[in-house]
Amino acid sequence: MAGILCAMRISQLSAESGVPIPTIKYYLREGLLPPGEQTSATRAEYGQTHLRRLRLIRALLEVGRLPVASIRKVIDAVDDEELGVHEMLGTAHYALSPAMEEHEETPEWQQARELVDRLIADYGWNINPAAPAREELAQTIVTLRRLGVEPTMADLTPYATAAQTLVSTHELHKIPFDAPRETMVEAHVIGTVMYGRVLDAVRRLAEESESARMLGVDG
């Protein structure tokens, strides 16, 4: 098996990865997958690098639901060995952020951003000024205010504390920092997206149960 994995024909690469041959050929044409080693005019061989790369593309596509242009950016960051691991993971992280609607620069946006900045400062977080999550949080604050709900620092801190605990004691430790670059990015993408869904689902379960408890409903 190890022998086969070291040098595979495209049919074996397809069988091992679960990615159909036409899709593999498409990734080769698009440059997302590096070419195999040409052993004759009609035969190329593929290896572990290709398998890892296909796993990453699949995670970005199926889990991250990223368009090919965004996948290319992430792959470029993986291939750029001069780029540090933090910046490489950040490229994937930013690509996964929800798209923001355009908006005018109003005083309510400035106030929302000030609240975000204060939260980041209070937690001592080290965040790039261009991080999309800053704008996401500001946008949510603006929307809440328009709905007549005025979020204060005291409303945000329980969420920030919960996130901080989850991330520092659990989430980041799942990334295999000694693995190849593709594997690190793949683990980061899966962790960010899928455990985001886990968190959303368990929060809904906890809400239902707590509502039943507070309102004295039997199960």
CB nearer to its own copies: give 5 or 44: 5
Least gap, CB of 179 to its own copies (angstroms):
13
For the segment 13-72, give every residue that binds its own copies (CB under 8 A): 55, 58-59, 63
For the segment 168-207, give every residue that binds its own copies (CB under 8 A): 168-172, 177, 190, 192, 194-207
For the segment 61-120, give every residue that binds its own copies (CB under 8 A): 63, 84-86, 89-90, 93, 97, 119-120
Separation of alpha carbons 49 and 185, rounded Å: 14
CB nearer to its own copies: give 44 or 133: 133
Are 112 and 142 within 8 A, CB to CB? yes
For residue 218, CA distances in Å to 57, 129, 203, 212 come to 47, 49, 20, 7
Separation of alpha carbons 12 and 5, rounded Å: 8
Among 1, 2, 69, 147, binds its own copies (CB under 8 A): 147
Stretch of residues binding its own copies (CB under 8 A), selected from 9-17, 19-27, 69-77, 156-164: 156-164
Least gap, CB of 94 to its own copies (angstroms):
9
Least gap, CB of 34 to its own copies (angstroms):
22
SS (HEC) of 2-70? HHHHHCECHHHHHHHHCCCHHHHHHHHHHCCCCCCEEEECCEEEECHHHHHHHHHHHHHHHHCCCCHHH
Number of amino acids touching its own copies (CB under 8 A): 75
